[in-house]
Amino acid sequence: MEEAMNQISYWYQQYYGDGFFLMMAIASYIYLYAHAKKERKRFLYPIALLVFCVANPLLYFLVFHQIIYWRLFWVIPDAVVIAYAVTKLVQAASKMADKVMVLTMALLFLLFNGSNVYRKGGFTQAQNPEKVDREVKEVCDFMLKLEDAPRCILPRPFLCQARQYSGEIRPMYGRNVLGYILDANEDQWGMYYQIESGQADYDFIFRRASELGYEFVVIYEWNEVEKSVPGVYNYQEAGLIDDYRIYYSGNNLSAAEPAPSEQQDRQ
């Protein structure tokens, strides 16, 4: 139980950072509890129950240690509570000047105690409305031109993005091979290991892909594949998009436009 408490404390510190946001949230809870009595039952008490469950060492020991724990903090609406408390403060001020001052102080506090998420390394600016890497979008578009619901075997950069881009994409595996909640089966583990290996067994990859009915195999461009191997299992190189080489076993290749990288090569 002590270990559970230590883990909860660690993730709270990781999630809330230097504590300024948490301090403002706590101050907001206290203010609302004292000055918004009508909201206690329908607003504050349910939040207190959520906090009790999320920060419960017994639940962590029994359940939460098996999942990505810090994501549970998302259910605690700290940002909403802060916004609501500031709104109530502005409403409570009698003069317009006081209202402006309260709002300005709150905004300045958040501004100067916060940080630009793009400087932390965990976020990057989106390259397209779907918020996926450009090359992932182009590879997915290429496959979708050939098949309505392409069944595919993909490298690691696609695991979190292919299905985000289109629900019609049918990858062999997803984040389960990275240990996210659901377990991967033997075929998924074996294929993912080979795709990511610097010395992949491409005879295994194309043979198993053919047996399981996957039309597409996407591999890293720098990996060398013996030219005769894909053809043995009815695959042919269909496109080269940046760092990814696309192999296809279907019959619709003539209907597809050249991949962007291919167009550049021809020019």
Dihedral of alpha carbons 177, 179, 184, 186, sign = positive
Ranges of each domain in the chain: 2-119, 134-266
In this prediction, residues 14-36 reach a mean pLDDT of 84
C-alpha triplet 164, 165, 171: angle, nearest 5°: 70
| Residues in the chain, total | 267
Q: pLDDT band at 73, cuts 50/70/90?
A: confident
- Cβ–Cβ < 8 Å for 8, 55: yes
Q: What pLDDT is recorded for position 259? A: 52
The closest of 5, 87, 53 to 45, measured between CA atoms, is 53
pLDDT confidence of residue 266 = 42
214-256: pLDDT as tens digits: 999 999 998 888 889 999 999 999 999 999 999 999 887 765 5
pLDDT at 262: 47
**Is the per-residue pLDDT at 16 higher than 90?**
no
Residue of 19 and 163 predicted with greater confidence: 163
pLDDT tens per residue, range 116-132: 666 665 667 777 888 89
Which helix (H) or strand (E) segment holds residue 112: the answer is helix 96-113
Find the helix or strand (DSSP H, E) in which 171 lies.
Answer: strand 170-171
Q: Give 153's strand partners.
A: 217
What's the CA gap between 96 and 77, in Å, rounded? 29
pTM of the shown model: 0.64
Instruction: Give the model confidence (pLDDT) of 180-214 as tens digits.
Output: 666 788 889 999 999 998 888 999 999 999 999 99
Which residues, 6 or more positions from 10, have their beta carbon under 8 angstroms from its beta carbon? none
Residue 19's pLDDT is 75
pLDDT of residue 241: 93
Q: How confident is the model at residue 267 (pLDDT cuts 50, 70, 90)?
A: very low
Q: What is the pLDDT of residues 149-174, one digit of tens each?
A: 999 999 999 998 999 999 999 999 98
Flag the least confident range among 9-18, 54-63, 134-143.
9-18
How many of the other CB atoms lie within 10 Å of CB of 181? 9
Identify the pLDDT of residue 263. Answer: 47
Closest C-alpha among 173, 168, 139, 170 to residue 156 = 173
Give yes or no for residue 40 having a pLDDT over 80: yes
Specify the pLDDT at position 121: 59
